Amino acid sequence: MEQKRAFKYRFYPTDEQKSLLARTFGCVRVVYNWALRQKTDAFYNEQKRLYYKDLSQMLTALKQQEEYVWLNEVSSVPLQQTVRFLDKAFINFFEGRAKYPTFKKKRNQQSATYTSNAFTWRDGVLTLAKMSAPLTIVWSRPLPKHAVPSSVTVSKDSTDRYFISILVEEDSAALPTTPKTVGADLGLKSYVILSTGETIGNPKFFSTDEKKLAKAQRRHAKKKKGSKNRNKARLKVAKIHARIADRRRDFQHKLSTRLIRENQTICVESLAVKNMVKNPNLRKAISDVGWSEFVNQLEYKAAWYGRTLVKIDKWYPSSKRCFDCGHILDSLALDVRHWTCPKCKVHHDRDINASKNIHVAGLAIFNACGEAVRPGAVKTKPGTSPRSRKPRS
């Protein structure tokens, strides 16, 4: 069975390529913002909905106008693709999966997508439309054998680093089955507590660089707006943010890959971080730990490698339930890290007890027997939204 998979690499463009990419990014941004304005005005002023076909025809007419003739200097494919992405963004909005689309900004990450008719791929050499020389890509890992890219996305982040994401179709890479299963409790004091008793500490990447970031932000705020020094200061702030995000992402990828390779079934809690960050005392720590991204990585890697990820119901009392006898406490404060069951007198570590309960509940959901779980606790599929639980300190 074939599946689509994207491989992301860093590349180093020449000055000529940087110039063309800058124009392409600018044209993509202008077309996206123009299309968003057209859709919004048509709906509010005329109660009319514009779709991809309508905007595509309007874009063709727009490129023929004298004041927008410069749109023809770049490949037309990324411009059409950004209109398609906007249409998809509105579908996600109307189906409740995303917020209303917003205008793109020059200082944020820039990207452009090329389909197969806008680039050439020969013997591992990639050349984009309107470019005379191929891209200098750092192949940090090989593409699958005989892989032919169906589309590529070029992007530049806020620190002026260039990346290319290559979408290919590859055969299913299912790992050999294993009898191992595990439950994972996500927390703040410890990043993950496994039902095996293993505890993985929280690296706290943001806290490590918080003072350095605050200092760089203060210096940036004092620079004169529009000056070169202010832009240099902005770049320093962006690099610190990128360092934090890169280290966190690297940690999450290594940990999620390890859990997927070692276990056939992984049981986790449902999370709704958007609600949890409303806690004024924990919002910074919750944002730093990155639970949503970690669970998302477990989801798509489980689909890639033939594993199973099970999310238990958000109301399941994993921390308050005694793993030995099943007794459930009436309440359990966040600062209580150990407790003794009043019924069977067993002393519990809060997090290890929760991970064991998550493990048992998840397997019961997967096997559809043996455990009393609230309705709504289901085996999750890649793409479903994380749900909520109370945060742990």
* CA distances, 350 to each of 260, 342, 354 (Å): 25, 15, 6
Query: Has 157 been annotated as catalytic?
Result: no
Torsion angle in degrees (nearest 10) through CA of 272, 278, 282, 284: 90
Query: Has 269 been annotated as catalytic?
Result: yes
Q: Which residue out of 87, 185, 299, 313 is catalytically annotated?
A: 185
Instruction: Give Cα 124 to chain centroid, integer Å.
Output: 28
Is there a contact between 386 and 271 (Cβ–Cβ < 8 Å)? yes
DSSP state, 197? Answer: S
In sequence order, the 6+-apart residues with CB closer than 8 A to the CB of 333 are none
**Of residues 125, 99, 128, the one with CA closest to residue 115:** 128
Query: Has 293 been annotated as catalytic?
Result: no
Sheet strands (E) in the chain: 2-11, 110-115, 119-122, 125-128, 137-138, 151-156, 162-171, 181-186, 190-194, 199-201, 265-269, 308-312, 338-340, 347-349
Secondary structure of 85-151 as H, E, C letters:
HHHHHHHHHHCCCCCCCCCCCCCCCEEEEEEHHHEEEECCEEEECCCCCCCCEECCCCCCCCCCCCE
In sequence order, the 6+-apart residues with CB closer than 8 A to the CB of 195 are 182, 183, 184, 267, 352, 355, 356, 358, 359
Nearest-Å Rg of the Cα atoms of the chain is 25
Is there a contact between 6 and 166 (Cβ–Cβ < 8 Å)? yes
Q: Which residue out of 87, 269, 299, 313 is catalytically annotated?
A: 269
For the purposes of burial, counting CB atoms within 10 Å of the CB of 22, is it exposed (0-12), middle (13-18) or buried (19 or more)?
Answer: middle
CA distance 337 to 265: 27
Torsion region of 233: left, alpha or beta (phi above 0 gives left; psi -120 to 50 gives alpha): alpha
- Residue 244, classed as helix, strand or coil, is helix
Q: Which residue out of 87, 299, 313, 351 is catalytically annotated?
A: 351
Catalytic machinery residues:
185, 269, 351
